[in-house]
Structure 1
Amino acid sequence: MSRRTALLVIDMQGRFKEIAENGKIIENIASLVKLFHNKDLPVVFTQHHDDPKMTSVLSRWWNNPIIKGTEEWQIIPALQKVLNVEDDIMITEKSRYDSFWETPLKSKLQELEVDTVVITGTMTNLCCETTARVAFNNDFNVIFLSDCNATSTKEYHEAALKNLAFGFATVMTHREFLKKYENV
Structure 2
Amino acid sequence: MVPFFAEANPYVRGIVPNIARLAEALRTAGGPVAWVLPANEAPLGSVSAEFYGPEVSATFAATGGSGPPRSRLWPAFDVGPDDLVVEKSAYSAFFPGRSPLPGLLAERAVDTVLVTGALTDVCCESSARDAATTGLRVLMVADANAARRDQDHNAALHTVYRSFGDVRSTDEVLALIAAAPADRARRGGPAATRRCPPRVPGG
| TM-score interval, normalised by the smaller of the two chains | 0.7 to 0.9
- Aligned Cα RMSD in Å? 2.2
How far 1:50 sits from its partner (Å)? Answer: 3.7
Number of the residue aligned with 2:76: 78
Query: Unpaired runs of 5+ in structure 1?
Result: 1-11
How far 1:169 sits from its partner (Å)? Answer: 1.1
Cα deviation, 1:56-107, whole Å, max 9, x if unaligned, reads 3346524313264169x8100111xx201x3111112x12101123211111
Change in 2 beyond 3 A, CA 1:58/1:126: farther
Is residue 175 from structure 1 mapped to residue 171 from structure 2 by the alignment?
yes
Number of the residue aligned with 1:5: none
Number of the residue aligned with 1:9: none
Matches within 5 A, 1:53-68: 55-58=45-48, 61=52, 62-63=56-57, 64=59, 65-66=61-62, 68=65
Is residue 45 from structure 1 mapped to residue 35 from structure 2 by the alignment?
yes
Is residue 114 from structure 1 mapped to residue 103 from structure 2 by the alignment?
no
Question: If each structure's helix is expressed as a fraction of its own residues, which one has the higher value?
Answer: 2
Which residue among 66, 69, 78 is the counterpart of 1:69?
66
Which residue among 82, 89, 98 is the counterpart of 1:95?
89
Change in 2 beyond 3 A, CA 1:58/1:37: farther
* Alignment coverage as a number of residue pairs: 167
Larger Rg: 2
Partners of 1:19 and 1:150 within 8 A in 2: no
TM-score (norm 2): 0.75
Change in 2 beyond 3 A, CA 1:13/1:137: same
Number of the residue aligned with 2:7: 18
Seq. identity, % = 29
Query: Unpaired runs of 5+ in structure 2?
Result: 181-203
Letter in 1 for 2:135: D
Quick one: distance in 2 between partners of 1:145 and 1:36?
14
Cα deviation, 1:145-170, whole Å, max 9, x if unaligned, reads 01000011111101101100001010
Ranges of 4+ aligned residues in structure 1 off by more than 4 Å: none
